[in-house]
Amino acid sequence: MNDEKQDNTTHFGFRQVPVEEKAKRVADVFHSVAGKYDLMNDLMSGGIHRLWKRITLERSGVRPGYQVLDIAGGTGDLTRKFSRLVGPQGKVVLADINDSMLKVGRDKLINTGHAGNIEYIQANAEALPFADNTFDIITIAFGLRNVTDKDAALASMRRVLKPGGKLMVLEFSKTDHPALTKLYDFYSFNILPQMGKLIAGDAESYRYLAESIRMHPDQETLKGMMENAGLVNCHYDNLTGGIVALHTGIKP
């Protein structure tokens, strides 16, 4: 299940919108929720998102001196940990298309003393503003589903990876447990929007987030898209019953 753009439209949640409008609509969502993003992440997942990110870090293989790109890095959870791992000889680029999210992440990282080896770049994943063969590791956590043209984004990520470099996509995915799926759907479409309204003052943005998860490619489809982008040794690991999947691919 790709973006399935027909008649120059694409999906925004469950709705079809003109392709050129999606980026702005997604931007409006994250402008709205940026200030409460970290709090809502903890509440929405019961803190489990921290475990998912820790697994990503552990499997990244990041070493001192590495060049790391954290796409859709938002408020900087992964960037902060990567900054420690790459050390003063390495570099981490926190990239996000949304300037509100980028500012929240930058302020948080600077305030906690993580500044020396981090750069902050506002960038569109579909056309990354970096030279070919720049990064050892690229991560995109809970961001790919918001990209309009996922194939273009994956090709762009492959381009800026060094040969032998690794792309890691951490994203909500599809469960294969009927009872878990039923519970997850009830939570997503009934509890989550109300939580968004109460905490962030925005039910609609969290309704979109729930819908965007359902429209995202399933595990096997995304694996095939990564292979089509020219990555090899592509595989995924289901986390929390497939509610989240961690996809990995290597640039040959």
Q: In this predicted model, what pLDDT tens digit does every residue of 15-65 receive, in sequence order? A: 787 877 787 777 676 766 666 666 666 667 778 999 999 999 999 999 999
pLDDT value at position 205? 77
Q: Tell me the whole-structure pTM to 2 decimals.
A: 0.87
Question: Best-predicted range by mean pLDDT among 1-5, 40-44, 112-116?
Answer: 112-116
Contact 140, 53 (CB under 8 A): no
175 appears as a binding residue in the annotation: no
139 is in an annotated binding site: no
Q: Is the dihedral of CA 206, 127, 132, 154 positive or negative?
A: positive
Quote the CA–CA distance of 234 and 245 in Å, as a whole number. 13
9-41 exposure pattern, b = at least 16 Cβ within 10 A, e = fewer: bbbbbeeeeeeeebbebbbebbebbbebbbebb
Residue 75 is assigned to a ligand binding site? yes
The answer to whether 175 touches 134, Cβ cutoff 8 Å, is: no
Instruction: Find the mean pLDDT for residues 117-146.
Output: 96
Q: What is the mean pLDDT of the chain?
A: 89
Q: Which of these, 45, 10, 38, lies nearest to 147 by C-alpha position?
A: 10
Q: How confident is the model at residue 230 (pLDDT cuts 50, 70, 90)?
A: very high
The pLDDT, as a whole number, for residue 7 is 64
Q: Spell out the domains of the chain, with CATH numbers in brackets.
A: 9-176+207-250 (3.40.50.150)
pLDDT at 26: 72
Among the listed ranges 21-35, 91-105, 168-182, which one has the minimum average pLDDT value?
21-35
If you average pLDDT over residues 68-82, what whole number do you get? 94
Q: What is the structure's pLDDT at 4?
A: 45
pLDDT score at 21 = 78
pLDDT value of residue 89: 96
Does 34 count as an annotated binding residue?
A: no
Distance separating the N- and C-terminal Cα atoms of the chain: 25
**Which pLDDT value is given to residue 3?**
46
Pairing of strands 67-71, 91-96: parallel
pLDDT(102) > 80: yes
Report in angstroms the alpha-carbon separations of 245 from 47, 61, 79, 158, 237. Answer: 17, 18, 20, 20, 6
Residue 30 CA to chain centroid, in angstroms? 13
